[in-house]
Chain A
């Protein structure tokens, strides 16, 4: 790995260099009722729009690789024959300015299913390969438990990763494109002082985590606790609304909608992201529902994240960003659910109310 250091004001220069491409970054979208900023990823048109001090965005950057809705195919029908056309989208490069480690890890995990396993998804791969990612270190908020999931730092999947050292940035460079860009701004090799400072900042970040999830033997515990009453407890709270899956950076399940145009000459096939918490997720033709209860669906979500994916890829599908827990009106958070399934009550900071059962 090659490291560089540059002054903070140089970041604006770097932005200007990159801004001939489409740039996506964290922006302030509003403030909540406690006057705290709410951020999201969006297309940015000026360096000043970037909210680089953001904690976690409300929604994940997932939609830039997995749009909520996407036309899969268009059909032209003629008598008994038809023709199917699929869209090979033209992808222009997109620069992601300031993505945190958890979200980069999330993309790496999505790659495992959508790009690196059998039947790769071409539209995903095209989008993914046209991403230029500038990572950014973060200050953990109370909802974050990425450290427990091993995703608080990221080893690959970015072009450069920046760590804020107060008046300068410490850059880890992992692509030649990134290296070439840095050649164009004022930067230097790090000295021993920079390295100490980098280590101190990283250590300070690690010390800031307040939420923990005990993941030891979790796959086995999930199997053992398949009939645990904890699932019913949380299932009773679940609204079956799919919010958790929508804000999740790694949920990729989808549904398909087929429609025939009113002129009966064209048809469309559309993919939309779905959620395993929705009532009809496991309903089959004929009406049988394999998971009719909110508790069984909620359980299934945890099984997929923390057990099934581990079985298939030796790592959890959860990156511990805490978005699902923050977005869940019913206050269902993975640290609490997992602690409960393990038979422990877990105190998680930053939420207003816990179990009211």
Chain B
């Protein structure tokens, strides 16, 4: 493997990359190794120095850190801050890291002690309100999705190496869904967050006749207020709307506005 890379005569450095996880299912990291066809080319662009899921060697000398998962314990904040101090570029990998993800559903219960007791009984567990990485440290890049798309990580890496800006689509999923000429799920009687959710997934769910659950969070301009009206017009209840918006944490700010205060405290 050549250590010097270049493109059109422009010398490029091969970054040292590390992967870490906080509270997560580790599915996003798994995605990276799912595509054997391009794996070797991928590895020639970067030097992976730390990746618990895939290798035994460990080094703390890295430039780019990919972090999967959300913060749900106090010790994770320390771990995250330490990574931030080392990494030149900190990348939030997947919905948990970007928004808190499914884990964040925990926050809908305002009484965390009650939840802890329900789930773990008297077993002592350190647990706190779930937060995205951004709540504790500055995040340079976000790779959205639950799970992430391998192709997107590859594009991010090649863009970083080439010095190109990493720009996820600003438009919503509808754009990709319509380009596949799918029938609109609303017409078929399914709720869908496609009109407000950031694209980039290539309309994965709607292609399979599943309404979007908003795993990539809000598009650059997300007209949630209008979609809420639309969903009501199509006879979807408030609960369905809130459930969808809340599932992956990306629309947390909107959910707070939607939900009357004081509800759902004890499930």
Q: Do chains A and B touch in the complex (CB under 8 A)?
A: yes
Q: Does A12 contact B (CB under 8 A)?
A: no
Q: Does B85 contact A (CB under 8 A)?
A: no
Whether the pair A260, B158 counts as a contact (CB closer than 8 A) is: yes
Q: How far is the CB of A291 from chain B (nearest CB, A)?
A: 11
Contact of A239 among B41, B157, B162, B174 (CB under 8 A): B174
Q: How far is the CB of B139 from chain A (nearest CB, A)?
A: 19
**Distance, CA A59 to CA B196, complexed state (A):** 21
Q: Does B26 contact A (CB under 8 A)?
A: no
Given the contacts A239-B223, A262-B44, A63 and B181 also touching, CB distance less than 8 Å: yes
Contact of A246 among B179, B183, B233 (CB under 8 A): B179
A-facing residues in B144-203 (Cβ within 8 Å): 154-155, 157-158, 162, 170-172, 174-175, 178-181, 183-184, 186-189, 194-196
Whether the pair B170, A279 counts as a contact (CB closer than 8 A) is: yes
Give 1 or 0 for each of A229-242: 1 = CB within 8 Å of chain B CB. Answer: 00000001111111
**Distance, CA A38 to CA B229, complexed state (A):** 24
Q: Does A345 contact B (CB under 8 A)?
A: no
Whether the pair A264, B7 counts as a contact (CB closer than 8 A) is: yes
Q: Which residues of A contact B78 (CB under 8 A)?
A: none
Give 1 or 0 for each of B38-66: 1 = CB within 8 Å of chain A CB. Answer: 10011011000000000000000000000
When C-beta atoms are compared, the residue in chain B nearest to A31 turns out to be B188
Whether the pair A329, B230 counts as a contact (CB closer than 8 A) is: yes
Whether the pair A279, B221 counts as a contact (CB closer than 8 A) is: yes
Q: Which residues of B contact A79 (CB under 8 A)?
A: 8-9
Which of B44, B154, B187 is packed against the most chain A CB atoms within 10 Å? B187
Given the contacts A259-B155, A260-B162, A262-B41, A242 and B174 also touching, CB distance less than 8 Å: yes
Q: How far is the CB of A45 from chain B (nearest CB, A)?
A: 18
Of the four ranges (under 10, 10 to 19, 20 to 34, 35 or more), the interface on chain A belongs to 35 or more
Given the contacts A239-B196, A263-B44, A38 and B233 also touching, CB distance less than 8 Å: no
Whether the pair B181, A40 counts as a contact (CB closer than 8 A) is: yes
Segment with Cβ contacts to B, from A135-143, A191-199, A270-278: A270-278
**Distance, CA A40 to CA B187, complexed state (A):** 14
Of the four ranges (under 10, 10 to 19, 20 to 34, 35 or more), the interface on chain B belongs to 35 or more
Whether the pair A77, B171 counts as a contact (CB closer than 8 A) is: no
Main SS class of interface, A: loop
**Distance, CA A293 to CA B183, complexed state (A):** 28
**Distance, CA A264 to CA B175, complexed state (A):** 30
**Distance, CA A77 to CA B7, complexed state (A):** 8
When C-beta atoms are compared, the residue in chain A nearest to B209 turns out to be A30
Q: Does A261 contact B (CB under 8 A)?
A: yes
**Distance, CA A157 to CA B178, complexed state (A):** 27
Whether the pair B221, A294 counts as a contact (CB closer than 8 A) is: yes
Q: Does A72 contact B (CB under 8 A)?
A: no
Given the contacts A82-B8, A327-B184, A246 and B175 also touching, CB distance less than 8 Å: yes
Q: Does B242 contact A (CB under 8 A)?
A: no
A-facing residues in B126-157 (Cβ within 8 Å): 154-155, 157
Q: Which residues of B contact A327 (CB under 8 A)?
A: 178, 184
Q: Does A243 contact B (CB under 8 A)?
A: yes
Q: Does B227 contact A (CB under 8 A)?
A: yes
A-facing residues in B204-235 (Cβ within 8 Å): 219-221, 223, 226-227, 229-230, 233
Whether the pair B179, A29 counts as a contact (CB closer than 8 A) is: no
Q: Does B5 contact A (CB under 8 A)?
A: yes
Q: Which residues of B contact A58 (CB under 8 A)?
A: 181, 183-184
Whether the pair B170, A241 counts as a contact (CB closer than 8 A) is: no
Q: Which residues of A contact B45 (CB under 8 A)?
A: 262, 264
Q: Which residues of B contact A353 (CB under 8 A)?
A: 233
**Distance, CA A356 to CA B232, complexed state (A):** 12
Whether the pair A239, B226 counts as a contact (CB closer than 8 A) is: yes
Q: How far is the CB of B156 from chain A (nearest CB, A)?
A: 12
Q: How far is the CB of B235 from chain A (nearest CB, A)?
A: 9
Whether the pair A294, B223 counts as a contact (CB closer than 8 A) is: yes
Q: How far is the CB of B245 from chain A (nearest CB, A)?
A: 15
Whether the pair A280, B220 counts as a contact (CB closer than 8 A) is: yes
Q: Which residues of A contact B12 (CB under 8 A)?
A: 264
Whether the pair A240, B179 counts as a contact (CB closer than 8 A) is: no
**Distance, CA A131 to CA B122, complexed state (A):** 73
Q: How far is the CB of B256 from chain A (nearest CB, A)?
A: 21
Contact of A247 among B154, B178, B186 (CB under 8 A): B178
Q: Which residues of B contact A90 (CB under 8 A)?
A: none
Whether the pair A32, B178 counts as a contact (CB closer than 8 A) is: no
Given the contacts A79-B9, A279-B219, A353-B233, A38 and B183 also touching, CB distance less than 8 Å: yes
When C-beta atoms are compared, the residue in chain A nearest to B41 turns out to be A262
Q: Which residues of B contact A242 (CB under 8 A)?
A: 171-172, 174-175, 178
**Distance, CA A327 to CA B219, complexed state (A):** 19
**Distance, CA A263 to CA B229, complexed state (A):** 48
Could you give 16 example pairs across A and B, Cβ below 8 Å? A38-B187, A58-B181, A79-B9, A80-B9, A236-B226, A239-B174, A239-B223, A240-B219, A243-B195, A246-B174, A246-B175, A262-B158, A264-B45, A279-B219, A279-B221, A294-B223
7 nearest interchain CB pairs? A246-B178, A262-B41, A241-B174, A68-B179, A80-B9, A33-B189, A242-B175
Interface positions of A (Cβ within 8 A of B):
29-30, 32-33, 38, 40, 58-59, 63, 68-69, 77, 79-80, 82, 236-243, 246-247, 259-264, 272-273, 275, 278-280, 294, 327, 329-330, 352-353, 356
Interface positions of B (Cβ within 8 A of A):
5-9, 12, 38, 41-42, 44-45, 154-155, 157-158, 162, 170-172, 174-175, 178-181, 183-184, 186-189, 194-196, 219-221, 223, 226-227, 229-230, 233
Apart from the given pairs A30-B183, A247-B178, 13 other A-B contacts in the complex at a CB distance below 8 Å: A29-B183, A38-B183, A58-B184, A68-B179, A79-B8, A237-B226, A243-B178, A246-B179, A264-B5, A278-B170, A294-B223, A329-B184, A353-B233
